[in-house]
Structure 1
């Protein structure tokens, strides 16, 4: 990958889009992970105002620390970067208490995790509306178009997606070029939505390198019976998630009414 040229291309694309839409800059949710670090750095490089928002909800201290260190590093490099922290833990707990009691199980755990993501999305759009900013998405290609590893109307609710055509390995290449903090680069990817130490790989059952391989093989038209052993397992995981999450990747279905039914 021609990393420098890719970085310049994304930066110019971001600046042009914001200028054409007559918006004042970008707002980015900072998680302490590599995707949000790269996205916020790319937004900062446009020279336009970039607001980094921390939104902890029962967040692990290590994630919070990495996010804060990244923001401080950005602010030293770019005068157009500002930040704010909004502790959403009390709001999340109040919201939970307003809902009917539900049985503690995996489905409740996943539902509450998605609720966290949607609460953060609402917060980002509050600041976007307040300042006339665009919400910059932090999803990469594997997450957004491979396995659908994001929350619909949560971290999937954005105005534009600067790194959604980059594989995870390519995000790491750009992170190295941009000088992203080594602690972030070395940290195991996690969505941080469950309040524990589980990583993305723990949840998905495959690493991003494995998923990139599966995505490539799927694009070539391969089928699960073309593989054996671990490759067969990974390809099956990829296909299962890709099929299950098409509702996230495809446009919202619209019920089109036949014209003859609209006539009296």
Structure 2
């Protein structure tokens, strides 16, 4: 199921950078703010933003972060600042904020639900922080989600890393992001690292959480778009297809617009 990107990386790179610059110019803002995680998605997104020549603020927001994620993120930021004079860097350590939050809310007897809720809280604290920096510097929050995460399995936090102003790589499969990462010469440590959301304070990978690799999920997403069903497959392919289908179904609330209760005209005064 290994997937190989088919995009024309040079042309795609230029297209996204032009799109970013035009959007920011029309919005009359100074540039972009990007949360840096030490992963390939944030590394590629920040490099695309940096190429616009507009201010690109890279923000580290550790909350009991795994040391390898921190070191990869800093390696990328250091490299990016050497390449682009418009790149700025700041850190907001949110560990104490996270602890303060936990101290004012009740706990739960369900450890699984508690762990997931606190993981999503980390993402939402980071979203709030990014919008703080965006507000004081006149920047747009650039999302780092790819197509598989944003529109396939919904592997992101609603109003967390899903709360952004624009999404430059959301039409790219994970394999496309890696292809761009190679083209943009992001650090090898990031290109070779197993993807992780970093929301649990440990080194658990996305694959461990989801039950399938991004190559497998890309395959399943393509097969789903071709109207294939689980009964068309056997063995591991069937297992992956069912994982993808289940996540795609239960996470539609993230991908679709917020439901609005529309009041019939006859109930409104004319």
Same fold (TM over 0.5): yes
Whether the aligned pair in 1 keeps the contact of 2:150 and 2:170 (CA below 8 Å) is: yes
Per the TM alignment, residue 104 of structure 1 is displaced from its structure 2 partner at its CA by 5.0
* Counterparts of 1:101 and 1:109, CA distance in 2: 10
| DSSP-derived class of the 1:128 partner | helix
Equivalent of 2:121 in 109, 112, 115 = 115
Instruction: Give CA-to-partner distance per residue, 1:153-204, whole Å, 9 cap, x none.
Output: 0000000000000000000000000000000000000000001121000000
Equivalent of 2:74 in 48, 51, 68 = 68
Partner of 2:197: 191
> Which of structure 1's runs of 4+ aligned residues deviate more than 2 A?
none
For this pair of structures, how many residues does the alignment match?
264
Where does structure 1 lack aligned partners over 5 or more consecutive residues? none
Where does structure 2 lack aligned partners over 5 or more consecutive residues? 1-6
Per the TM alignment, residue 101 of structure 1 is displaced from its structure 2 partner at its CA by 2.5
Give the structure-1-normalised TM-score.
Answer: 0.99
**Equivalent residues in 2 for 1:98-137 (5 A)?**
98-137=104-143
* Counterparts of 1:104 and 1:130, CA distance in 2: 39
Residues 1:78 and 2:105 are matched in the alignment: no
Partner of 2:102: 96
Partner of 1:23: 29
Instruction: Give CA-to-partner distance per residue, 1:204-245, whole Å, 9 cap, x none.
Output: 000000000000000000011111000000000000000000
Give the structure-2-normalised TM-score.
Answer: 0.97
Partner of 2:56: 50
Equivalent of 1:224 in 230, 235, 244 = 230
